[in-house]
Amino acid sequence: MKLNTIIALTYLKKLLPIVFLLLFQTTVAQKTTVTPFTIGETLTFNSKVLSEERKLNVYLPLSYKDSVHKNYPVIYLLDGSADEDFIHIAGLVQFGSFPWINMIPESIVVGIANVDRKRDFTFPSNNELDQTEFPTSGASANFIRFLTKEVAEIIQEQYRISEESTLIGQSLGGLLATEILYTSPNSFDNYIIISPSLWWDDQSLLQRQTPKLTPPKKVYVAVGNEGPTMEATAMELIAKLQRLRKRETENTLIIRYDIIKEGNHANILHNAVYRALLHFNEN
């Protein structure tokens, strides 16, 4: 056998496994189908109240499509963009409503995607540092009207919802949730207020008169290891709500609160919302 033939056969033996591998990979790739994995849908609309385009991210329960005669509670989530809190809170709600968990009823989650949270979640402040660090701040009254009127109407028209609604807000979102609780408490049935930024405007929100709560409300407040000001103002809010409960007729206010020492401002939300939903289901 000639030397060239021997070299060619040797080369072919080394090449054949590579060829077979490439052919196998091509065959596997041809049988693979890639499709998008979605956990919800997004509503985009031009807000008449805010005069800008806004987005709502919506998670629907697993039974929503087939249970055509069933209405569902709604959980409204501030900071509800996909890159904020929508995905993990929607997952928590799904988990809690699995039949073998049965922690909460199946619920719709509506995440309000942000445009300018410093503008939307704050009322006007007389504190110069607030004004300097948050130059666009002070438009919460407008956003509250957008949330409680415009968004609520869109969700009611678009989906099968029950009368029960919950609002979740953390940090500046917690400040806004507290403001709504004080100024228009009947906008929601349940309030989950996490690490509220009650330091805003020299804690002026805490000086306002506590609201008249009708019908009954459930309020959950949580704070983590977040420094003396955040912790003290959260505890003052809890104390005011407890005093309010004593003044009200029985069963008009259910309060639960947690001091989550192992948590901080950045990581407390998921744990706190889980505890809140668990507390609400117990009552």
Cα-Cα-Cα-Cα dihedral sign, residues 191, 199, 92, 80: positive
Q: Could you tell me what percent of the chain has a pLDDT over 70?
A: 88
Q: Per-residue pLDDT tens for 3-49?
A: 555 554 455 466 556 655 665 555 555 688 999 999 999 999 999 99
Which CATH code is given to the segment(s) 41-282? 3.40.50.1820
**Short-list 146, 164, 45, CA closest to 104:** 164
- Looking at residue 210, its pLDDT comes to 81
Query: For helices 86-96 and 269-282, what crossing angle results, to 10°?
Result: 30
Q: Per-residue pLDDT tens for 135-175?
A: 999 999 999 999 999 999 999 999 999 999 999 999 999 99
Cis peptide before 215 (omega within 30 of 0): yes
Q: What confidence tier does 50 reach under pLDDT thresholds 50, 70, 90? A: very high
- Looking at residue 247, its pLDDT comes to 78
**In whole angstroms, what is the distance from residue 51 CA to residue 150 CA?**
12
**In whole angstroms, what is the distance from residue 81 CA to residue 90 CA?**
11
Q: Per-residue pLDDT tens for 91-134?
A: 999 999 999 999 999 999 999 999 999 999 999 999 999 999 99
Question: The whole model's pTM is what?
Answer: 0.88
Q: Could you tell me what percent of the chain has a pLDDT over 90?
A: 80
Q: Could you please report the per-residue DSSP string of 128-163?
A: HHHHHH-TT---HHHHHHIIIIIIHHHHHHHS-EEE
